[in-house]
Chain A
Amino acid sequence: MKFGVIVFPGTCDDIDAQLACARVGDAIPLWHADHDLQSVDAVVIPGGFSYGDYLRAGAIARFAPIMTEVIEFAGAGGHVMGICNGFQICCEAGLLPGALLTNDNLRFVFRQVSLDVINPDTAFTRSLERGRPLSIPVKHTTGRFYAPESDLDRLEQNGQVVLRYAPSQNPNGSLRDIAGVINEQGNVFGLMPHPEHAVDPLTGSTDGLGLFASLRDSLSGSLV
C-alpha cells in the first residue's frame, strides 16, 4: 500500500501526513509541478497554504500540473483524502461538493474537537470503532462548510456527510456541523480536522490513525 502525499509550494503538513501514512503503509511525496503519480495506491492532499492561498484557499493549487493527474485518478475510482487545505482544493477542483468559507469569527482557530462519525461505512471510516467519537484537532481560517440547503439535504440522504462536529464543538460555523464529506462515488473524502495530527499518543490522541488504517484496509482488501 503506497500513499502519495502532494506537496505544493506553501504546503505545511506534508511531512506530518507522510508520517501518518507511514504508520499504516508506505508514503512518498508527490511534487506539484510533476505529471506523475508514481503508481501510488491513494493520494493525500495535505494541509497548509498552497501558493500562499492567495486569491482564495485552494483556488490556485487546483490548477497545478499534478492536479490534472489527481482528477483523472479520482475519476477512475482512485482514493483521495483532502485534509484542510486539501479539502479546500478538492472543492475548488470540483472533486467534492460545497465550499469552505471564512470561519464565522473571522479568525484562525486551533482546537482539539470531538467529531461524530456519521457514515462509518466509507472506505475512509470502515475500520473505526463504531459509535465512538474522534478527538482530532482543527486549525484553519477558512473552514466553514457551505452548500445550498437542497445540496445539504441531498448530501445527508446519500450518506455523504461522513463527519460532524459533536454538539457544541463546531469551531467555525459550518452548516449542519459538517466536518467531512465524501463524493457520491465514495472515493474522494475531504475533512477540515487534521487526522495526521492525531496518530501518536506522545503528541496527542490516536483517533486520526483509524482514517488512514481504514483506507489501507479498504484498498488491501483485508476488510471485506
Chain B
Amino acid sequence: MSAPAQPLDGFQRALDLGLSADEYARIVELLTREPNAVELAMFSLLWSEHCSYKHSKLLLKTLPSDGPRLVMGPGENAGAVDVGDGWAIAFKVESHNHPSAVEPFQGAATGVGGILRDIFAVGARPIAILDSLRFGEATSERSRYLLQRAVAGIGHYGNSIGVPTVGGEVYFEAPYEQNCLINAMCVGLVRTDDLIRSAAAGPGNLLVLFGASTGRDGIGGASVLASAELGEADASKRPSVQVGDPFEEKKLMECSLELLRRRTLVALQDLGAAGLTSAVPEMASKGNVGIDIDISRVPLREADMEPFEIMVSESQERMAGVVEPSRLNQLLETCAHWEVEAAVIGEVTNTNRIRVFNGPELLGDLPLDVLVDGCPLYELNPAPAPNPLYPPPNATLESKDATATLLHLLASSNIADRRYLHEQYDPVVGSRTIRRPGCADAAVLTLPNGTAIAIAIDCNGRRVAADPYRGTIEAVLECAANLACVGAQPLGLTNCLNFGNPEKPHIAWQLTESIRALGDACRALEIPVVGGNVSLYNEGPDGPIYPTPVIGLVGELPDPTRAGRLGWAQPGDAIGLVGDFAPHLPASELAKLRGEPLPDSLPEVDIAKVQATQLAIRDAVRSATISSAHDIAEGGLATALAECCLAVDLGCEVTLEEGTEPTELLFGEAPGRFLISGPETAVAALGQVIGHVTPTALQINSADTQIDVPLARLREAHASLATLF
C-alpha cells in the first residue's frame, strides 16, 4: 500500500479536529494553500462552535444590546452597566458543561476560574459569584456524584479566592442525566474610567503572557469537549479537562487589578478556551493590528511540548496583556510583587496577520481576515419536532390529598431547601452581602456609593421545553420578579444559552424561538443584553437536554437598608396575594411529580401586565410599606406560603376564595404573582388580603380543602436534600 498523498493527510486531520469537509475546503480556498499542522490546529479551535458561535451569531445579533446605562456591551470579555457616581458593574455568565460531565470537580472549579478572569480582564474586581446547575434526577447515583463534586469544585475555587458565592439555582430533571449543566456567573465592580478593553494597539508594543506556566492540560477542550455531543468514550476525554489552582488565580487577579490601577496596560485578555490560539488573534483582530508571537518564550510546565500544544493549551490562570515597551519594567515589578511569572512572548505589528515563531523559525502565518473573520456563519433550519422530544417523567406522587401533596412538593428535589448546598459556599467575604442565599428572592450587595445591586439567575428548562418562546419569556420575567422582591430595577441581562445540537432542526427551532423570546422580553422590559455565552451540543445518547437559556439579571436599589426579604416579619401581619391569579398545572412541578407529559405549549403571558405588577411590588419594597415579598414560582401558592414560613420560623393562616379548582389554586404555576406581608392597609392597597402571619403552623383554608401543618413537619420535608448525601 502506498502512503496517502499529503493533502489527504491535512483533510483527514481537519476532520479529526472537528472541522467539516466544507470548512476545510474554505480554509484552503481563502488561504490559497493548504494550512500546515500548527495553522490547522488554530483553525480547528477558532472555527469551533465554542469560539466562533457559528450556529448562533446570526440569531444573537437580533438581541437588544443598548441602553442608557450600558457602558460595555457584547464582544468584550464581559458587559458592564453604569451604577452611578463613576462606578460600573461588569457581569457575565458562562458554561462549563462538558468538562464537568467528564470531571465534575475540576470542570466546575475551572468554570468559576474562567468567569472570574473574564471579569477582571475588563478591570473589575469580582464581588460575587452565582451558579446555575442542572443534573439528572436526584435518585440517580451519577447525578448525586456530579452534584457533590461540582459543588465542591465551585466552593473550592470561589471560597479559596475570596469571592463570595451569593446565590444560584439547581434543578434535577432526567434530560440532564447524561449532560449536566454547570453555568457560573460573576459580577465585578469597577470605576467606569478604569474599564479596559481587549483590543491590542500600537505596533511595537509588547505582548506579555503572565500567570501560570503553560502545560499540556486542557488540550482540545474547546473543540473536542465543548463542540461535540457527549458519548460513550467520555472518560478518555478527562485529559482534555483543565485543572484549576485558585491560589494562582488569586495572585493573578490582584496583580492584574494593580496593573490596571497603575495604568500599565494597553489591553488585557484572559486565556480561556483554546488558550493563546483564541486570545492572541482576538486581541489583534479587535484592534485591527497584527501580532507576532514566539512560542519559544512561553514559560512551560513541561520541557518537550510540541509547538501546536503550546498554542492550544488551556492551562488555567493565564492572562495576556499588551504593554508599551517603556512600561515593561513597571509590569515586571508588579508581577514580581505578586509572585506572578511574566514573559514577553510577542509584539504588536501592523500586518493584520498572526505570525507564530519558534525562535527564528516561522511556524504559521495567517491573515486575521481568514482566521477570525473567515469562519462561516450558519443559518439554522428550524422546525418543531414532529413528536414529543422528552418522555414523561416517572410519577412519584399518587396521593390527591392536599397536605400530602404539599409535603411531597417541599421534599421534591427542585423545591427542597438548598441549605445543604449554600453551606458549602462563603457568601460574605468582601463585606458587601446584604442578602445571603435563602433570605430573599435575589442576592443583594452594597456598593461604595451607598446604593446596592441585586442579582438573580434562573431558568426553568422544563417550561422552555414545553414552549421555547413562552418558557424563555417566563425565565426573564422570573428574574425580574426576583429583583422586584428585593426592591431592585433591572439594569442589564446576561445569558447562557444551553441547547442541544443546532444542526438538528428541532433543536434549531428551540434555539430560534428562545432567542426570539429573549429579544422580545428584553425590549418590552427595556433591559439591554450586555453579553452572554452559548453552549450547544448538549446531548447524550438518550437525547438532548431541556433547552435551558439561563438568565442572569443585575439591578439596582437606591437604599440598601430597605432591601426586601422573603420571610414573614411578625405574627399578625396581613398576607396579600398580588398579580393576576391564573395558575395552571401543565409543566408545573406537581405535573412532573404526577408523571404527566409536557404540554404542547404554555399559556400566553401579558408582559406589560406582569411588568406593572413587578413595578408595584418594587415600589412597595423600596418605600418599606410592606415587610416581605416573595415571588410565587415552582410548586405554586401553597409552596410559596411554606417558603415564607420556613425562611423565618413563623406560620400563617390564609383563606382562599372559591372559584378555582383547588389543586390548580394551591399548586398551579404562572408568572407575575407575588406573596407579600405587612400592615393590612398597605397589603390591601397592592392586592387581595388572604390571611395573616401566625406563630407556629401553616394553615390554608379553601372551599373543600384544608391544610394545617406544624412548621416542624414542613421543615422536615423541606430538608430532604441533605438526606440524599
Contacts and interface: CB of A to CB of B under 8 A. Distances in A.
A110 B430 contact: no
Contacts of B430: 15-16
Contacts of A139: 159, 426, 428-429
Given A110-B427, A202-B446, A54 B247 contact: yes
Nearest to A48: B162
A196 B245 CA distance: 26
Contact of B251 (A9, A12, A19, A203): A9
Nearest to B162: A12
Contacts of A49: 159-160, 162, 246-247, 250
Contacts of B162: 11-13, 48-49
B387 to A, nearest CB: 44
A203 B422 contact: no
A54 B248 CA distance: 12
Contacts of A111: 423
Contacts of B155: 108
A52 B160 contact: yes
Nearest to A12: B162
A10 B159 contact: no
A196 B430 CA distance: 10
B14 interface: no
Contact of B431 (A11, A52, A110, A200): A200
Given A9-B250, A16-B430, A19-B431, A202 B560 contact: yes
B434 interface: yes
A107 B722 CA distance: 13
A51 B247 contact: yes
Given A52-B246, A108-B155, A110-B422, A203 B432 contact: yes
B561 interface: yes
A144 interface: no
A183 to B, nearest CB: 27
Given A49-B246, A108-B424, A12 B431 contact: no
A20 to B, nearest CB: 8
B433 interface: yes
A109 B246 CA distance: 18
A200 B560 CA distance: 12
A137 interface: yes
Contacts of B432: 203
Contacts of B185: none
Interface residues of B, number: 31
B305 to A, nearest CB: 25
B159 A108 contact: yes
B425 interface: yes
A10 B427 CA distance: 18
A52 B423 contact: no
A153 to B, nearest CB: 32
B161 interface: yes
B152 A107 contact: yes
**Contact-residue size bin, chain A (C-beta under 8 Å from the other chain):** 20 to 34
A75 interface: no
B338 interface: yes
Contacts of B250: 9-10, 12, 49
B342 to A, nearest CB: 15
Interface string B247-276: 110110000000000000000000000000
B306 to A, nearest CB: 30
B164 to A, nearest CB: 9
A15 B248 CA distance: 19
Contacts of A204: 428
A12 B161 contact: yes
B339 interface: yes
A200 B432 CA distance: 10
Interface string B221-257: 0000000000000000000000001111011000000
A159 B196 CA distance: 55
Contact of B245 (A52, A197, A202): A52
Contact of A110 (B245, B247, B424, B434): B424
A116 B204 CA distance: 64
Central interface residue in B160, B247, B426, by most chain A CB within 10 Å: B426
B233 to A, nearest CB: 32
A137 B428 contact: yes
B100 to A, nearest CB: 18
Interface in A164-209: 194, 196-197, 200, 202-204
A139 B422 CA distance: 11
Nearest to B338: A9
Contacts of A109: 423-424
B439 to A, nearest CB: 11
A16 B431 contact: yes
Interface in B548-596: 560-561
Contacts of A48: 162
A53 B160 CA distance: 9
Given A9-B339, A52-B246, 15 more contacts: A9-B247, A51-B247, A107-B423, A108-B424, A108-B425, A108-B426, A110-B423, A110-B425, A110-B426, A200-B431, A202-B446, A202-B561, A203-B428, A203-B431, A203-B446
5 contacts: A16-B429, A107-B424, A108-B424, A110-B425, A110-B427
